[in-house]
Amino acid sequence: MQGKMIQVGQLATDCYLVEPTTNIKGAIIVVHEIWGLNDNIKSIADRFAEQGYIALAPNLLSVLDYSKVDVMQLQEDLFTDEKREAAQQSLFSIIAPTQTPEFKDKSIQKLKECFDYLYDLPVSNQKVSVTGFCFGGTYSFSLAVKEPRLSLSLPFYGHLTHSLDEVSQIKCPVFAFYGQNDKTLVFDVPEIEKLMEEAGVNFEYKIYQNCGHAFFNDTNLKTFNKEAADDSWQIVLDQLSRI
């Protein structure tokens, strides 16, 4: 089982594709954090393939330039009290292009093309799910809104930025994951739950104690929580097995 880089769709999105050799159960899109398509995300895609899922991880952030910063240090500084403010300013200056409506619309187009690519593979059995982390968690919510054929959405610490009318377009189950110390996101969970209920969406979530944002990222020792990461991974596999 060897992953490879391919280009997908008319927008020619660079993607990391990894396929199981036998016993394919379906397919999943893996959407990266704000750090882009790095080795951490590729390793998560590899893990899905080991479990029998065709995994496609698109690079939605090719427009960003991280060349002038030490990315690993910046990740750590964001979760270090005395360095957080400066790190946030540095990060915000880099990711400014992602805040425009045009970028968001194009990113959804790219994800829909990734969905079509997987959906049209005969071996996927038209079972295509999505998961994502932080930036990718937000877009996992958005793809569920925009793609009615999606089988399952599994956002990790993402924002739900859609209205009731938009959320009512979701046709698949959604299971979201949060860390207790990720205060802003956790504060919004009751409102998200209410919105999902009003929209008639099959929505579940889990908040992990004693951890915060990016608890699944085992390359960031400031945030990684093995217990939460292991438990959420088992829930992900269980949810996938039900579709």
Q: What is the mean pLDDT of the chain?
A: 96
* pLDDT value for 68: 86
pLDDT at 21 over 90: no
Question: Cα separation of 98 and 231, whole Å?
Answer: 31
Question: Cα separation of 92 and 87, whole Å?
Answer: 9
* Residue 193 CB partners (closer than 8 Å, separation 6+): 203, 205
When pLDDT is averaged across residues 97-115 and rounded to a whole number, the result is 97
Which tokens is 93 given?
């200056």
Which tokens is 191 given?
């409102």
Q: Are strands 128-133 and 4-8 parallel, antiparallel or unpaired?
A: unpaired
When pLDDT is averaged across residues 72-84 and rounded to a whole number, the result is 91
Residue 197 C-beta-side C-alpha neighbours within 13 Å: 7
**Which percentage of the chain shows pLDDT scores above 90?**
95
Which tokens is 170 given?
């979701």
Q: What is the pLDDT of residues 107-139, one digit of tens each?
A: 999 999 999 999 999 999 999 999 999 999 999
Question: Cα separation of 62 and 32, whole Å?
Answer: 12
Q: With b meaning 16 or more CB within 10 Å and e meaning fewer, what string describes 106-136?
A: ebbebbbbbbebbbebeebeebbbbbbbbbb
Determine the residue type at 166: E
Would you say the pTM of this structure is higher than 0.95?
yes
* pLDDT value for 22: 86
| pLDDT category of residue 90 using cuts at 50, 70 and 90 | very high
* Domain chopping of the chain, boundaries: 4-63+101-241
Which tokens is 58 given?
């698109």
Q: What is the pLDDT of residues 156-198, one digit of tens each?
A: 999 999 999 999 999 999 999 999 999 999 999 999 999 999 9
Does domain 4-63+101-241 bear CATH number 3.30.70.600? no
How would you class 169 by CB atoms within 10 Å of its CB: exposed for 0-12, middle for 13-18, buried for 19 or more? middle
